[in-house]
Amino acid sequence: MNPTSDLGSEPDDFDPHELEPGDFRDEVYSFEFWFQAVDGYLRDRPYGHSVPGREVTLEPSRREALITTLCNYCVGETAALEGASGMIEFAPNRHAKIFLATQVVDEARHLEVFLHRLADLGVEDPEAEIVARANPSLVRFKERLLEFVAGRDWDAAVFAQNVVLETMENTAFRAHETTADPVTAEVLDGVIKDERRHLGFGENDLGARLMREPGVRSRLTEIRAELDPLVLGTFEAAMGDLGADTARREALGREYLTAIERLGLA
């Protein structure tokens, strides 16, 4: 596939899992494709949203819940930003380094738009609010991810960042988008489009690795057993902040677990 063709926008149903191997490399590992694709769906969206006047006045309790949620999104995006940037040095090949460079820019943009949204909501000191409102499970997840990166542990870092974290974020963002105010929903829409590509990279990289070296599976299964409680604890708190009922929280937890199990790490 020519990476410069038909890139006015990325279709809403874009799924990296459906790409042929050659197209996957052209579209997911390509800085050229990345640049033109994001230009297509972010053009005229400064800070992730486009239409003036879409802001609505939120009830105080809903505003507080949104601030807490956005603070935790900032924790997750900071984890991915620091993780992806650190992984570039020990990525196994140049195509992976190129992909990670695009992910670094994506994660920095996500962090910026969430910080800007906090400013829209009247948060004067976002750094202090993030520290005060950060979910302990998510903070511990971030610490563990960065330990894998510091140890130059490629398999563990890709799994924690590009499979577990990206699946968690993608699931949470899509659920939040359905109930969010118009501005937040539009911001999340652009972020979700990026996350699909990040997740596709992780699943493709580890899927190929597991085919070559099946023994890696047992170690990733152990890492998953360590990380799952942190992820599910984060989900529980995040969905509580958003007012999701018990059935919805359980459904999102199952959705996350199903996505992780695509790699056969039950």
pTM of the model: 0.84
Q: How far apart are CA 37 and CA 99, in angstroms?
A: 14
Q: Residue with structure tokens 């769906």? A: 41
Contacts of 193 (CB under 8 A, 6+ apart): 10, 14, 38, 41
Q: What range defines the domain where residue 187 resides?
A: 60-263
What was the pLDDT predicted at 155?
Answer: 96
Residue among 180, 26, 3, 198 nearest 109 (CA): 198
Encode pLDDT of 181-216 as tens digits.
Answer: 999 999 999 899 888 888 888 888 998 888 898 889
Please provide the average confidence, as pLDDT, over all residues in the chain.
85
User: When comparing pLDDT for 213 and 21, which is higher?
Assistant: 213
In-domain check, residue 103 = yes
Residue 13 has pLDDT above 60, yes or no: no
In-domain check, residue 135 = yes
Q: Kindly indicate the confidence band of residue 27, based on its pLDDT and cuts at 50, 70 and 90.
A: low
**Total number of domains in the chain:** 1
* Candidate ranges 22-31, 34-43, 83-92, 253-262; pick with highest mean pLDDT: 83-92
- Residue 80's domain is classified under what CATH number? 1.20.1260.10
In-domain check, residue 208 = yes
In-domain check, residue 32 = no
